[in-house]
Structure 1
Amino acid sequence: MEQAIDGGFAAPVFDAQAIFRAVMDAMARPGTIQPVAALTQPPATLSATAGAVALTLCDHDTPLWLDTPLQVSAAAKSWLAFHSGAPLAATAADAHFALVANPANLMALENFAQGTQEYPDRSTTLILQVESLTAGEPLELKGPGIETLATIAPTPLPRHFVEQWKQNGARFPRGVDIILAAPDGVACLPRTTRIKTLET
């Protein structure tokens, strides 16, 4: 039980504000990397950055979906429940947030809540735990919040990510948004961002 209690925000209000600001800045300027300090110490399956983002955004009103590595980690589930109070979503389509420790094995994005034409905000925001935002295949980003072009290279990403993201954009105003949580910072891909690889 001790592992579930330890490792949360030391100064919950200030720490959550710092993470929230970083996420909002990253969402407003897709492709930028917003640095974040390691403000949490979650169980091993969950990274400090992904854990901090989850504690900042999730609460008892936001059903949270966990991918298999987190689902089978009793320590991670206990820690998230204790610090966020978020109930676990029965299915991906019920989730307000999805926490993904292994993006490479993630199910298709279309399985998550897409929102509706009237309420596009009733969609899932995915928090992907990535190893790096600069060491993967470079992706070109265009769209709102990007002056001309932004480049980001996160790894790992879900399979066929660029194609999946194109389909996600075609569902606008419905669709999912993504927060990329790396060891040293966060970057965001709102559904309005267009992505292509450098070769295409």
Structure 2
Amino acid sequence: MNVTAIQTPGLADPVNDAQRIFRAALAALARPTLAQPVRAGMVPPAPLSPTVGALVLTLCDEQTPIWLDPALRGTGDVETWIRFHTGARIVEDAHDALFCVASGPSAVPSLSDLRQGSDEEPHLSATVIIDAAGAESTGSFVASGPGINGEVCWDGAGLPASSPERPGFLETWDANTRRYPRGVDLILAGEDEVRGLPRTTALKESR
């Protein structure tokens, strides 16, 4: 057990901070792509960012299986810190997690491999928290759906970019939205803000 990681403080005011951060995350998913301010006020073990750390401590507890990407699990400090402050179980397989935490867009697992929930229990699907601090634009998108007045343009900063190993994100996301009410939700954590991309949001390339 890493004593240094355990000694790293969590939320300064656990009750009020958790309520504030939970409201920001909820607002982000209710108003897709629109930034919601978040002041984490903490410094978790590297490479976990303050905003991502605050979200994990707010949204997860001992009932929550969490998957961490290899960079986050590398030293053991992040895993120890999360276990100590939340009691959550860290799982090896992303498919077993309710929350998947990625240290950057390139570390996001394939959405189709994650928990999709069911028509009867869609809330049992996975939520992916992506560290999007400093992430660059991945394109020019138009988003529409519940919580969006008509359409909104967005640069997609924080979304996984296309690569030879994985198909374009638009195709992946379109398949995800078609599974509704099943499907995966994304929370993009910037330096002092969060944005949500729920399964109900349609994305297309801006023309």
Which band: TM-score by shorter chain? over 0.9
Whole-angstrom distance in 2 between the partners of 1:20 and 1:2:
27
Q: State how 1:59-74 maps to structure 2 within 5 Å.
A: 59-74=61-76
Where do 1:82-97 residues align within 5 Å?
82-97=84-99
Partner residue of 1:116? 118
Instruction: Name the CA distance, whole Å, in 2 between partners of 1:132 and 1:149.
Output: 25
- State the alpha-carbon separation in 2 of the partners of residues 140 and 161 from structure 1: 14
Consecutive unaligned residues of structure 1, counting only runs of 5 or more, are none
| Alpha-carbon spacing, 1:102–1:31, altered in 2? closer, same or farther (3 Å) | closer
Paired residues in the alignment total 199
1:163 paired to 2:165:
no
Query: Partner residue of 1:4?
Result: 6
SS at match of 1:121: helix
Deviation at residue 153 of structure 1 after TM alignment: 2.3
Aligned equivalents of 1:16, 1:152: Cα separation in 2: 28
Q: TM-score, normalised by structure 1?
A: 0.93
Q: Does 1:37 align with 2:45?
A: no
Quick one: which amino acid aligns to residue 10 of structure 2?
Answer: G
More deviation in 125-134 or 87-96?
125-134
* Contact persistence 2:115–2:184 (CA under 8 A): yes
Residues 132 and 152 of structure 1, relative CA distance in 2, 3 Å threshold = farther
Give the one of 45, 48, 55 matched to 1:46: 48
Name the SS for the 1:50 alignment partner. helix
Matching of residue 141 in structure 1 with residue 149 in structure 2: no
What TM-score, normalized by structure 2, do the two folds share?
Answer: 0.90
- The CA deviation at 1:71 is 1.9
C-alpha contact 1:50 1:181 (8 A) present in aligned 2? yes
Aligned to 1:198: 206
Stretch deviating more after TM superposition (53-62 or 1-10): 1-10
In 2, distance between residues paired with 1:197 and 1:34?
24
Unaligned 5+ residue runs, structure 2? 163-167
State the one-letter code of the partner of 2:169. Answer: F
Deviation digits for residues 123-169 of structure 1 (CA, Å, limit 9, x no counterpart)? 00110111247744232110001011123324342242221100101
The separation in 1 between residues aligned to 2:94 and 2:43, in whole angstroms, is 26
Structure 1 runs of 4+ aligned residues shifted over 3 Å read 132-136
| Structure-1 separation of matches of 2:153 and 2:58 | 27
Q: CA deviation at 1:68?
A: 1.2
SS of equivalent residue, structure 2 residue 24: helix
Alpha carbons of 1:133 and 1:151: their partners in 2 closer, same or farther (altered >3 Å)?
farther
Q: What is the DSSP-based 3-state SS (H/G/I as helix, E as strand, rest coil) of the residue aligned with 2:29? A: helix
2:108–2:130: 8 Å Cα contact kept in structure 1? Answer: no
